[in-house]
Structure 1
Amino acid sequence: MPQREKQPISAAQLGLIVEDAASEIFIFSATDFRFLLVNRGARENLGYGLAELRELSPWDIKPELTEEQFRRKVQPLIESGAGDMVFETVHRRKNGSLYDVSVHLQLLRQDGEPIFFAAIRDVTRENELRRELEQRECDLEKALAGREMLLQEVNHRVKNSLQVVMALLQLHARQAKKGSLRAALADARNRVAVVASIHQRLYMGGDHSMVDIGEFLEDLVNATVESLAINGEITTELDLEPGIALGIDEGVPLALIVAELLTNSLKYAFTDGKRGTLGVVLGSTDKEISVKVYDDGKGYSTSATGPDISGSGLGSKIIKALSRQLRAKIMRKTGPEGTAVTIILPRN
């Protein structure tokens, strides 16, 4: 089929297109800045008739811009003789009400004379939504800051309460007449001290819900050796993968298990002033975290390898209960060359 020859759009047709456009359209002179044409959408929104608008200039409906400011804004287009720009401002209706607008301004030529063609989009609702979003973000930031302060205060108070419990246990231990009771109270105090130290790290750290378990284990090993290595000299070996963080629900049980294992090694592996080595290895994969506590002491009386910790004492019961809480596997290897216990817990 032969292609139909394209006919140029007449000025009247162009006027009809502009008149019925969804956007507000303004055409005004680039010399005296008087409005030449304002379409129906703009007239209805502003509340002016066309005759009234032809007596006005752009700055008359833009309260944020004076005549001087508006002329200075469009001067680059006038000097270049062509081009366009986009900016946001405010329009004022005849009744005095305001609405936000986005202005796309172009410099064109009609019959050799420069004119400005402005397509205006009402962005009042968009700006309201943006301001609402910004306010919600601000409110959320304030709420998060309040939550952080609350967590910090809770950890601080828990730490102080645990220190009171530790002091009471220590006092009762000193007053106890039976050696077995003194030892039991001292062990209880040490266990509370582990929990208190976790809360100390949460209180002092930037994230009050997570603790770097590697840094904590280093402190725990040093503190335990310092408090219990009375006879002989104990060398510590630490191989701790950095950046492994756990929440308090996992950090406290794991720390208590490690503390029990360290205490067992220091109490029973190095007797009669024997020197030795105590070590901790922390590592991880995508699916699990592992902690190995080992020593080169005399080992248990019975050499064994198995998935559980043998023994019916309170320490063994604590380890078993806490490992179930963590859904952790406990692997033990003991013999004349020492003992190694590995805790493997799944990553959440």
Structure 2
Amino acid sequence: MIAPHELTPGLPAPQASAPVPVFQSRCMHALLERVRRFARASASVLITGESGTGKELLARRLHEAGPRVGEPYVRVNCAALPRNLIESELFGHESGAFTGASNRRIGRFEAAAGGTIFLDEIGELPLAMQVKLLRVLEENEFQRVGSNQDLHLHARVVAATNRTLEERVRKKRFRQDLYHRLNILALHIPPLRERREDIPVLVSYFIQRFRNEAEVAIRGVSSSVMRQLSDYHWPGNVRQLRNVIHRACILATGEIIDEVDLPSEDEPQTGTPQKLPAVFEQLPLREIERIVILSRLRRFDGNKTEAAAALGVTPRTLRNKVTEYRKLGFSC
């Protein structure tokens, strides 16, 4: 069986006594079967898919379904690492290796020994560090910053990205040799809009997860709401669906959810051009972008990860925009 908690960001596994719903789409059945086979191997895995599809949960599934279960699982967000400290974060450093390095530090690769290191947002890794990562993968060795001692790589490497790495290779932003080295085994998670038959299963699962936060015992959603959810194009994928159901459970006044809060600018396309709000008609594109970004940040209470997912951009891109707006005097 393929349980939604296996690929749903932020959800614990249900209790053993509770019924476990299964995904209905063939693509998810095929994907989980590949995960089962790949889990036994030690080769690098590259997981691709849009933001919010559950790439980290898939990486954890790879780790837990294989012989490394019980060993360390170390996640690294490559986009969040300060550029001047990336090498130290990944490989560690010796005391005195650079200003401020007062003690020896164990890096993420060393900490993951025997287990799995998950390199999330690998497409954001600077080119200079890509060269060093390639050497580690090819030679199974690395050195702490400030040391000449080779340390053996004992961790399985799993990487993930919501970028199209082939395009970044063409634009010379990602090394082709590193791409091929990471892409020995490949897993692609389809966006939710391409597996709409899974939406009712996930809706039911999320209601069970969040029903205790409601003032009444939520039993389900109305047929009209289910149609609305099934027709929606979900730019934030499963993560966005989870947030919508969570909010609906809290706001519901009856046992059946008969209304959900879907942002109007993200409504499904009907084939006819959508008329812009009148206030946008005279504004330059840059100003419209700022209004939409700040509005989305307010909707998610300043949570940049969730806002970025809903906008269809990386958290790093959103952070750069926020920094730019703050310099202009806007409150973000």
**TM-score band, normalised by shorter chain:** under 0.3
Q: Relative to total residues, which structure has the larger strand share, 1 or 2?
A: 1
For normalisation by structure 1, the TM-score amounts to 0.18
TM-score using structure 2 length: 0.19
